[in-house]
Amino acid sequence: MATTNKNDYKASNIQVLEGLEAVRKRPAMYIGDTGQRGLHHLINEVVDNSIDEALAGHCDYITVVIKNDGSMEITDNGRGIPVDMHPKLGLPAVEVVLTKLHAGGKFDKDSYKVSGGLHGVGVSCVNALSTWFNAEIHRDGVIHKMGFEKGITHTSLVNQGKTDKTGTIITFLPDPTIFTQTTEFKFNIIADRMRELAFLNPEVTIELIDEREDDPELGKAIYHYEGGLKDFVSYLDESREGITPEPIHISGEVEGVPVDLAIQYNTSYSENVHSYVNNINTREGGTHVSGFRRALTRSLKSYAEKNNIIKSGSKVSISGEDFREGLTAVLSVKVAEPQFEGQTKTKLGNSEVQSAVEVMVYDQLNEYLEQNPKIAKKVIEKVVLAAEAREAARKARQLVQRKSVMSGGGLPGKLADCSIKDPEHSEIYLVEGDSAGGSAKMGRNRSFQAILPLRGKILNVEKAKINKILENREIQAMVTALGAGLGYSEEEFDLDKLRYHKIIIMTDADVDGSHIRTLLLTFFYRYMRLIVELGHVYIATPPLYRITAGKNIDYAWDDETRDKLIKELKKSKRKFDVSRYKGLGEMNPNQLWETTMDPETRTLQLVTIENAAGADKMFSTLMGDDVTPRREFIERNAKYANLDI
C-alpha cells in the first residue's frame, strides 16, 4: 500500500471539480437509493475516509455517535482534512473536499487511497444531502471549523483556537426532503458495518454510541479485534463446531496486492466464503475468490495424493465444491484500481489479482498442511465425505426430476399457478397451512398470483445434508414451482428460469409463523441466495386486528392504530367489535385479498441483506445446534438483526 507522507499532500492535488447540484437532483445515482440503505450509506462515506487515514497509518480510533436530535457525529484521530488554500480555486482544501464532487486524493495516483464506499462518491455527497453539516478539524496545532447547509457553505473556515491533537469531527443531519422514507438511524445496521470494519482493519478501534438509548450499556459498543480476520472467522463460527482448533491465518503481499485470509473448517455443510476488496464486500466474488478456490483445491489435492490419503483408485470423484463444504473463510485484498463487474457491481474483475491470491494461498497453505498433518488428515477426510454426499445428492436430484416429470406438467400438485407466464409480472405466495392456502387461492387475482400452500414446518436446512434437503416434500414443491433449481453454482441454480419475480412469504403473525418464515429465509439464503440478493423475496404483512362497526370494517397492523380507531369509534358512540386475528385461516378470501394480497393496498416487506457476513452469523446462530449462543443472540437482537425486513 502506498503510504502518503505527512507533508506531501497539498490542496492542488485535488482534481476534477464539479458542484453538488447534481447530487441533490439525483441522489440515488450517488448513494444507491434514498431509503434506509442510502441513509446509512452516508455514515459509511464518512467513516471510509477515517479508515483511509488508518490504512495510511495515521489513525487508530474512530468514534461514531448517533445524537439525540437524530444527527450523526463521526470523530477520528487522523491527520485532519487539509485546510491549505487551493492555488487555482482560491478556496481552502477542506471546502473543496466538502463542496465539490469527486474532489479528493482518490483520483490522484500519488496519494491514492484504497478504501471507499461501494460508490466511492466521497464525503461531499453527504454534505449535499444534509440539512446541515459541520466539520471541525484539528491540524497544525489549530482547531478549524466550517459549516454548510444542503451542501452550501454557511460558515467559512474559521480558526477556533489551539489544539495539540489531529483529527476530524464531522457532524451532519440528513435532509428529510431527500430521505423521505426515513431519517432514523438504526443502531444494529451501523453496528454490523462497524464490527465488520474493525475485523477487516485490526489496527483501528471503533466506538459506537447511541445517545437516544436511555440505558448507556445498551447504547454503546466498542469494536477492536487484534486477531483481524482470524477473529472474524471465529465470530462467524461461534455456533458451529470447528474441525481445525483455530482458524488458519494467511497473509502477505504478492506483486503489490496485499492479501489477508482466514479459514476454518467446521462440521456444518454450508460454504461461507466472504470476500472483500478495499473493505467492500464483494458478494459476487470475482478474481480474488477464484484464486483462493484454485489454491485451496490444488493444495489439499496434492497433499492428499502425496500422503496417500485419497487412494488413486478411489471411486468418488472430488470436485472443487467438496473442498468448500463446511468451510468458513474471509478473504480481504487491497487493489489500487479495482474493476467491479457483475449484476450488482460486486464482482472483482482485475485478472492480476487471481494469480496473486493463488500463489500466496497455495504456498502458505501447503506449509501449514505439512506442519499440521493431523489437521490435514481430518480436513481431507471431511472433503471425501462431502464428495460422497454430493454423489448421493446427485441421485436424489435425478429422483426429484423424474418425479416431477411423472406428475405431469412438472409442477407440484398443490400449486395453484397463475395464468400469465411472464415471470417479471408473476408472483407466488408461499402460504403457511392448507386452510390459509385455500383462502388465498380463492381470494387471489389468478392472472398473476400463484399460491403454494406449505404444510407444517419445513426442514431446517442449517442442520441437514443436501440429500436430505432434496428429499423433503415441501422443499421439492418450492424448487419445482420456482423453476430455477437449487444450489450454489450457476449450473445448479439458473436465475433465468425463475418463474416468479416476487416470492412472497405469508405466515401467521405468531411464534410458529415467524419460525416458519425464518426456516424459509434460511433455505432461500443458503440454497437460492441470488433471489434474496436481487430482491425477489418479500414478506406479506397480514393485519393483527379487525375492527367492525356495523358494515364498516377497519384493519390495524399494530396496537397503536387499533387504539386510535377504538378511540374514534368511542367518540362517535357507535357500537363496534375488535377481534384479533390469530391466524391467516381466520380471514375469509375477500379479507385476505383486501388486506394482504391486493397490490393496491397491501404492504410487502422486501427482504434485503445489508451485510452478508452478518446474515450468515444470524442464520447459523438461529438455526444451529448450539443453544447458548442462540439464546444470547435472540436476547440481543429480539428480531432480525441483519435482514432488513
Q: Residue 268, interface with ligand 0RA (CB under 6 A)?
A: no
Give yes or no for a contact between 580 and 547, defined as CB atoms under 8 angstroms apart.
no
Indicate if 494 belongs to the active site: no
Q: What does the alpha-carbon distance between residue 204 and residue 54 come to, in Å, rounded to a whole number?
A: 7
Q: Which residue, among 432, 392, 395, 426, has the nearest Cα to 411 in the 3D structure?
A: 426
Identified binder of ligand 0RA from the candidate list 11, 64, 123, 428, rule CB under 6 A? 123
Q: Residue 279, interface with ligand 0RA (CB under 6 A)?
A: no
Q: Residue 104, interface with ligand 0RA (CB under 6 A)?
A: yes
Indicate if 215 belongs to the active site: no
CB of 3 to ligand 0RA, least distance (A): 11
Pattern 365-384, ligand 0RA, x by CB under 6 A: --------------------
Give yes or no for a contact between 420 and 447, defined as CB atoms under 8 angstroms apart.
yes
Please report where in the chains the cell 443458503 appears, as a residue: 526
- Helix (H/G/I), strand (E/B), else coil: 107: helix
User: Which stretch, 21-29, 71-79, 507-515, 558-566, contacts ligand 0RA (CB under 6 A)?
Assistant: 71-79
* Residues 6 or more apart whose Cβ sits within 8 Å of residue 220: 207, 208, 209, 210
Q: What does the alpha-carbon distance between residue 526 and residue 505 come to, in Å, rounded to a whole number?
A: 16
Give yes or no for a contact between 477 and 452, defined as CB atoms under 8 angstroms apart.
yes
Q: What does the alpha-carbon distance between residue 242 and residue 594 come to, in Å, rounded to a whole number?
A: 50
Q: Residue 9, interface with ligand 0RA (CB under 6 A)?
A: yes
Q: Residue 170, interface with ligand 0RA (CB under 6 A)?
A: yes
Q: Residue 49, interface with ligand 0RA (CB under 6 A)?
A: yes
User: Site size for ligand 0RA, by CB under 6 A?
Assistant: 17
Q: What does the alpha-carbon distance between residue 356 and residue 255 come to, in Å, rounded to a whole number?
A: 7
Which CB, 53 or 210, lies closer to ligand 0RA? 53
Q: Residue 46, interface with ligand 0RA (CB under 6 A)?
A: yes
Around 575, how many Cα atoms within 13 Å sit in the side-chain half-sphere?
2
Q: In what order do the strands lie in the sheet with 152-162?
A: 152-162, 142-149, 130-139, 167-174, 72-76, 61-66, 205-210, 220-223
CB of 125 to ligand 0RA, least distance (A): 12
Residue among 510, 558, 559, 563 flagged as catalytic:
510
Give yes or no for a contact between 23 and 51, defined as CB atoms under 8 angstroms apart.
no
Identified binder of ligand 0RA from the candidate list 20, 40, 64, 82, rule CB under 6 A? 82
The amino acid occupying position 100 is K
Q: Residue 106, interface with ligand 0RA (CB under 6 A)?
A: no
Q: What is the DSSP code string of 333-386? A: E--SS--EETTTT-EE--HHHHHHHHHHHHHHHHHHHHH-HHHHHHHHHHHHHH
Residue among 48, 192, 508, 610 flagged as catalytic:
508
CB of 51 to ligand 0RA, least distance (A): 9
Q: What does the alpha-carbon distance between residue 75 and residue 45 come to, in Å, rounded to a whole number?
A: 13
Indicate if 325 belongs to the active site: no
Q: Residue 526, interface with ligand 0RA (CB under 6 A)?
A: no
Identified binder of ligand 0RA from the candidate list 11, 55, 97, 318, rule CB under 6 A? 97
Identified binder of ligand 0RA from the candidate list 20, 39, 72, 81, rule CB under 6 A? 81
CB of 30 to ligand 0RA, least distance (A): 17
Q: Which residue, among 236, 229, 285, has the nearest Cα to 259 in the 3D structure?
A: 229
Q: Residue 443, interface with ligand 0RA (CB under 6 A)?
A: no
- β-partners of residue 70 are none
CB of 15 to ligand 0RA, least distance (A): 12
Identified binder of ligand 0RA from the candidate list 71, 168, 279, 591, rule CB under 6 A? 168
CB of 169 to ligand 0RA, least distance (A): 9
CB of 347 to ligand 0RA, least distance (A): 28
Q: Residue 470, interface with ligand 0RA (CB under 6 A)?
A: no
CB of 36 to ligand 0RA, least distance (A): 23
User: Which stretch, 65-73, 77-85, 254-262, 351-359, contacts ligand 0RA (CB under 6 A)?
Assistant: 77-85
Indicate if 214 belongs to the active site: no
Write the burial class of residue 6 (CB in 10 Å: 0-12 exposed, 13-18 middle, 19+ buried).
exposed
Under the rule (CB under 6 A), what is the footprint of ligand 0RA?
Answer: 4, 9, 46, 49-50, 53, 76, 78-79, 81-82, 97, 104-105, 123, 168, 170
Q: Which residues are catalytic?
A: 432, 508, 510, 512
